[in-house]
Chain A
Amino acid sequence: MTPDLLIQSTIIGLSIGSIYILMALGLTLMFGMMHIINFAHGAIYMLGAFAVYYIFSQWGAPYFAAFVLAMLLLGTFGYLVERSIYRPIKGGIEPTLVALLALTTFLQAAGYPVFGQLDKHVPPVFQGTRNVLGVMISVERLMIIPMAGALVVGLYLFINKTKMGAAMRAIEQDKEAAALQGVNVHVVNGLAFAIGFALAAASGALMAPIFKLDPMMGEQPLLKAFIIIILGGLGSIPGAILGGLMLGLIDSIVATALGAEPAFLLSFVFIILLLLFKPTGLFGYAPP
């Protein structure tokens, strides 16, 4: 591998990594508060991409409006899922997981008759390439990094600086005690669903101009996000960020050298070994 190719795949890896981070952050946030894994995350990623397809490339709205609208729409959907699926099950973890799984297969299967059998394409939003450290990178891919970064910083500020964020952290530590202090656990859980879904939609919306769109497109990012949160430790937000960056780089560099499928197989073998020897994740985060 030449140095140029290495630099190029590192930068591409950073941009893929920031998508993975957005996916993994929502998953880990929801796990930390409710101890559930949102299996529907991949399907929401897909819906986010399709929202951009319709709003931006079919109806002609500006890309940023489509991006924000996709997040708002799917965030609302997340709140409704909390109301209609999570809340009626009353905290049963296993039934919730199975219901979310059913929601996923429903959204994916319904995608074919609704969106059509053919792959969809979103036209490029940012044209041209830019010279970074002597290699040419498309602006499309470069722009993912600051946009995802802004969302991560926004989430960090929200969780650490606002009252709602404090309520979320309180629920993560002790749900009953938080409820006794007057935190409305239902509303805050609903908010966590909304944030998780909105972040997944944002990842899909960012990736829409780069990849082709089909109803199964969320499967791979979901599995990648699983690997990341196992790497970083379930429920750990710094773990999700570091794990996402690592997997993005591994994915891009190994995939450039060996191909995408061997890269996935390698990362799976890696997490099995990790679970064997360091089950709390790379950064030693003990799950609550």
Chain B
Amino acid sequence: MRRLRVGVLIVLVLLMLLVPQLGGDYYVHVFALVFTNVILAASLRPSLTCGQLNIGHSAFMSVGAYASALLAKNLAVPFEVSMLCGALLAAVVGLAIGYPSLRLRGVYFAMVTVAFVEVIRLIAQLWVSLTRGMSGLSGIPKPHLLGVTLATKASQYYLALFLMLLTLLILWKLESSRLGLIWKSIGMADNLAQSLGVNIANHKLLAFMLGCFFAGVAGAFYAHFIRFLFPPEFGFLMATNILVYNYVGGRGHFAGPIVGAAFLSLLSEPFRGSAYETIFFSIAMLLTILFLPGGLITLPGKLAELRWWKSASAHSPSPAA
């Protein structure tokens, strides 16, 4: 089983490596954005595992995006440095928001993160001398990495793929370490975890800041890939979408947010940007919560169970006989 999974993973990565060769610029563009969404969804997971509902993830993406774009544009900083600075700034902002609100019940944190999306949007909108406000920030340089400018869409696609795989690897290693176990214990029963000597406030904060850092990474890539930033883009809708990826994909396994982000972003591609995209997302979310609480990743198991149950009932003698 394990060997099968590794095999499937290798085939998937090979396929993703081949996308620029097989498809045109359109597919390259779409998949690079899918990878950004996967980073965003997976980076929300540590916080959710701790039982903390972060409904403002897009705000931290926005911080990373603006910081990296402004550093590269105004100071000609190379991408690897500007991205790290953007991600670190996002993590520091996360500290400032998370420290006061994470010590309390989860709903305080949820409300503060919702309001924070609006705060970041307003700052980006009002600080016109820095961010150009509602005219939008344009002319962001293409990613300039290790002395080379990634001019083609295909090379930027590989950068997105690399960033996604690296992020997933780091998050996966953390989740399967002792730290991941602590997060899970906090999410299941924080009182019990605390009684066993876990500093729950610090661990919640750490998980949250980690998520903010990678949201900043996703934002930095997005800024240099789209090369235009507009404050309302990183609003409430994007924040709920990131949450939807996690729930529709499934909360129980590391693959959940990845499946959710890939599935929903590809499926909603035909109506991207219209009101119907949001309608589709919200219906998918409601249906999943009501009828498939474990998310898409539990679907194969459920189907197998159903088949097993059918064949079992077919073989066993019926009570009437």
Contacts and interface: CB of A to CB of B under 8 A. Distances in A.
B111 interface: yes
Contacts of B6: none
A98 B122 contact: no
Contacts of B110: 37, 97
A105 B281 contact: yes
Query: Chain B's interface: helix, strand, loop or mixed, by majority?
Result: helix
Contacts of A104: 282
A99 B291 CA distance: 12
A35 B104 CA distance: 14
B106 A93 contact: yes
Given A101-B243, A103-B282, A105-B237, A226 B275 contact: no
A133 interface: no
B279 interface: yes
A264 interface: yes
Contacts of B100: 272-273, 275-276, 279
Interface residues of A, number: 44
Contact of A234 (B108, B122, B278): B108
Contacts of B53: 94, 97-98
A46 interface: no
A226 B278 contact: no
A102 B283 CA distance: 7
Interface stretch (A55-63, A107-115, A122-130, A161-169): A107-115
A262 B119 CA distance: 10
A88 interface: yes
A93 B106 CA distance: 10
Interface string B100-144: 110111111011101110110011011000000000000000000
Contacts of A36: 107
Interface in A260-288: 261-262, 264-265, 268, 271-273, 275-276, 279, 287
Given A106-B279, A109-B279, A89 B55 contact: no
B107 A37 contact: yes
Contact of B115 (A268, A273, A276): A268
B103 A271 contact: no
Contacts of A106: 278-279, 282-283, 286
Nearest to B103: A279
B236 A219 contact: yes
A101 B278 contact: no
Contacts of A265: 119, 122-123
A34 to B, nearest CB: 11
Interface string B253-265: 0000000000000
Contacts of A89: 289-290
Contact of B286 (A39, A102, A223, A264): A102
B225 interface: no
A108 to B, nearest CB: 7
A103 B279 CA distance: 10
B88 interface: no
A82 to B, nearest CB: 14
Contacts of B237: 105
A272 B115 CA distance: 11
B206 interface: no
Nearest to B117: A223
A102 B244 contact: yes
Interface string A238-280: 0000000000000000000000011011001001110110010
Contacts of B279: 106, 109-110
A101 B55 contact: yes
A227 interface: yes
B236 A264 contact: no
Interface in B257-302: 275-279, 281-283, 285-286, 289-290, 293
Given A37-B111, A265-B123, A102 B101 contact: no
Contact of A275 (B112, B244, B277, B281): B112
Interface in B214-249: 236-237, 240, 243-244, 247
A267 to B, nearest CB: 9
Contacts of B123: 265
Interface of A: 31, 35-37, 39, 85, 88-89, 93-95, 97-99, 101-106, 108-110, 112-113, 219, 223, 226-227, 229-230, 234, 261-262, 264-265, 268, 271-273, 275-276, 279, 287
Please give me the 5 A-B residue pairs with the lowest Cβ-Cβ distance, nearest first. Answer: A109-B278, A106-B282, A102-B285, A275-B100, A276-B100
Interface of B: 51, 53, 55, 96-97, 99-101, 103-108, 110-112, 114-116, 118-119, 122-123, 125-126, 236-237, 240, 243-244, 247, 275-279, 281-283, 285-286, 289-290, 293
Given A36-B107, A109-B277, 19 more contacts: A35-B107, A101-B240, A101-B243, A101-B285, A102-B289, A106-B279, A109-B278, A109-B279, A219-B118, A223-B114, A223-B115, A226-B111, A230-B108, A261-B125, A265-B123, A268-B116, A272-B96, A279-B104, A287-B104
